[in-house]
Amino acid sequence: MSHREALQDFVRTKVKATRVVVVSNRQPYMHTYEGDRIIWRRPAGGVVVALDPVLRVAKGCWVAAGQTEADRNVTDEDGRVRVPPEDPQYSLRRVWLAKEQEEGYYNGFSNEVLWPLCHTAFTRPIFRAADWQHYQGVNRLFADAALKEAGPGRALIWTQDYHLALCPQLLKAARPDLSVAHFWHIPWPNPEVFRICPWRRELLEGLLGSDLLGFHIRYHCDNFLATVANELEAKIITDQSAVQYRGRTTLVRPFPISIDYHRIVQDLDSPEVVEETRRIERLLGGRPEFLAVGVDRIDYTKGIVERLQAIDRFLERYPRYLGRFVYLGVGAPSRIHLPAYRQLRGEIAQQVEEINWKYGTETWQPVVLFDQQVSYPRVLAYLAMADVCLVTALHDGMNLVAKEFIATQQGEEPGVLILSRFTGANRELTEALPINPYDIEGSAEAIRQGLEMPREERVRRCRWLQEQIRDHDIYRWALEMLTELRRVRRGRL
Ligand code: GDG
C-alpha cells in the first residue's frame, strides 16, 4: 500500500466519527476572474498536497483567508464554497480580512516579527503593539470560524504555521474536548533569541493549547521545550518530550515535511514539462555545458546574495568554466510590501548585473535570473535540467526545493545537490554536498566539486537520496502526525 493509500485508509477507518477541520492562512484553492469568467487554481505547496486528500476522504472543512473578489463571489453568506471545484468533496470556508488586519497580522506580526525572530538570518524583528493587536484579532477570527465548522460533536482541528500561533489555545478554551494539532513550518529559535519578544508568553500559551505540536526536526522541538522552561511555570517531561501547563499536556514531536515524490516523477514526462524544457533551452541558446539551478521565494533567509557571491568566487577561481557554466535562478517575489524584501530584490539585481558585467561576453552571460513566479511544470523543468542545484538557505525549517530537485533526477546522469547545513532537509539528506552558505570559499569549492563529481558517485548518492525521500513522502508526514495525535488522545480522535 502506498503512503497515500495508507493515509486515506487511516482517515476512513480511524477518523470516521470525527469532523476534520484544517486551518491555515493560505487557502488550498483560489478563484480569480479571467475576463468575466471565474477560474480557479490550486496554489503550489506541500501542505495543500498532503491535506487535500485527507479532507476529501474525511469530507471535512478547510478554513483559510480568502483573497480575491472572485473568491468572495463564489462563496455563500458564511464564506463557504465546495471544493475541489471540478469534483466537490469538502468545504472551504473563507475568512475575510480587512486591509488593516492583513497589514498588521500578516505583513506586520507574522512577517516582521515571527519570521525574522525564528530564523537566524540577522534581520531584526520589528515589534509594534498595533500589529500584535491585529494578530490576536485575526487569530480569534480563524478560531471562531473553525469552531463553527467543528460542529457540536467530536472534531479534530489541525492548525498550521506561525500565522496562527494563538489558535490552539483559543480552540481549547472554548472546547476542551476537541483534538487539536498544530504544525510549525519554520525553525524555533533558542530561548536567548525568543526572549526578546514582548509577547512571548502569550505565543507560547497559544501553542500549548495543542494536544500535539509538530516541528520539522528534533532540534526545533528542543529549542521550544527550552523556551517554555525559561518563560512559563510549566513542567517539562523530558523523556516524553511533553509539556504540562495549567492542567493540560502538549506533546512536542518532530515530523519532517516532504513532497509528493511519485507525483513529481510522474509529472516529469508530461507534455507541459517537456515543452517547458524546450522553451528554456531555446531561451539559453541551447543547453549549457554546465548548468547550476536555484529556485526560491525571494527571501533573505534563502541566502541568494551569498549564493551569487559563491558563483562569483567560483568563476574567479576556476576560469576554465568561463563561457561553459550558467547559473539559472528562479526567484518568485514574495512579501513585496515589506522594505526588507524590496531592498533584497534590488541587491540581487545589482549583484547579477555586476557578475555578468565582470565575466560575461557578447554570447555568454553566467547568470540568468527570472524574478517572477513561474508555473509548476517550469519549476520541474529547471530542476530536472540541472547539473547542480544550489540550496544555500541561511536558515530554513525544511526546504522542499532540495527534495524536489532529487525527485527530478531520474535519468542516467543525475545532478548533485549542494545543500546548506542550516536547513531541516540537511538532517535527512546526508548524501548531498553540505555547505555553510556564509563560507563563500567553501561554497565556491562545493560548486566545483559538484560539477566534477564522477558519474558513479553521483548515481550512488542520488539513488540513496531518492530512496530516502520516497520512503518519507508528504503522505507519510500527514499519517504520522495523525497517528501520533490519535495515540495522545488515547484513540479518541
Ligand atoms: C516554508 C518553510 C518548509 C518556489 N518558486 C516557485 C515555486 N516554488 C515552490 C518550490 C517549493 C515551494 O515553493 C517552496 O518551499 P520551501 O520549503 O523551499 O520554502 P518556503 O516557501 O520558505 O516554505 C520551509 C516549508 O514551509 C514547508 O513546511 O520546508 O522551510 O520556510 O515547493 O518548488 N513554485 C512555482 N513557481 C515558482 O516560481 N510553481
The predicted structure's pLDDT at residue 46? 65
The predicted structure's pLDDT at residue 373? 87
- Whether 493 is in the pocket of ligand 1, judged by its Cβ within 6 Å, is no
Position 438 in a domain: yes
Q: Which residue has the cell 525553525?
A: 187
Residues 174 and 132 in one domain: yes
Nearest residue (by CA) to ligand 1, atom 34, is 376
Residues 226 and 299 in one domain: no
Position 493 in a domain: no
Give 175-203 pLDDT, tens digit per residue. Answer: 999 999 999 999 999 999 999 999 999 99
Residue-range definition of the domain harbouring residue 131: 3-258+474-488
Check whether 365 has a pLDDT greater than 80: yes
Residues 453 and 481 in one domain: no
Residues 245 and 196 in one domain: yes
The predicted structure's pLDDT at residue 44? 65
Mean pLDDT value across the chain: 96
Position 216 in a domain: yes
Which residue out of 328, 398, 427, 428 has the highest number of ligand 1 atoms within 8 Å of its CB and is therefore the one to mutate?
Answer: 398
94-115 average pLDDT score: 98
- Ligand 1 atom nearest residue 46's Cα: 27
The predicted structure's pLDDT at residue 47? 81
Amino acid at 380: L
Q: Give residue 42's pLDDT band: very low, low, confident or very high (50, 70, 90).
A: confident
Residues 332 and 344 in one domain: yes
Instruction: Name the domain count of the chain.
Output: 2
Residues 88 and 41 in one domain: yes
Strands 90-95 and 80-83: antiparallel
Residues 288 and 301 in one domain: yes
Residues 234 and 307 in one domain: no
Check whether 45 has a pLDDT greater than 80: no
Give 425-482 pLDDT, tens digit per residue. Answer: 999 999 999 999 999 999 999 999 999 999 999 999 999 999 999 999 999 999 999 9
Query: Which of 386, 377, 441 has its CA nearest to residue 409?
Result: 386
Nearest residue (by CA) to ligand 1, atom 20, is 399
Residues in the chain: 493
The predicted structure's pLDDT at residue 102? 97
Check whether 95 has a pLDDT greater than 90: yes
Give 110-152 pLDDT, tens digit per residue. Answer: 999 999 999 999 999 999 999 999 999 999 999 999 999 999 9
Residues 461 and 480 in one domain: no
Give 221-239 pLDDT, tens digit per residue. Answer: 999 999 999 999 999 999 9
Query: Any idea what the CATH number is for the domain that residue 177 is in?
Result: 3.40.50.2000
Position 253 in a domain: yes
Residues 332 and 293 in one domain: yes
Position 133 in a domain: yes
Residues 240 and 338 in one domain: no
Q: Give residue 70's pLDDT band: very low, low, confident or very high (50, 70, 90).
A: very high
- Whether 397 is in the pocket of ligand 1, judged by its Cβ within 6 Å, is yes
Q: Where are the beta strands (DSSP E) in 340-387?
A: 367-370
Residues 19 and 168 in one domain: yes
293-303 average pLDDT score: 96
- Whether 60 is in the pocket of ligand 1, judged by its Cβ within 6 Å, is no
CA 291, chain centre distance (Å)? 25
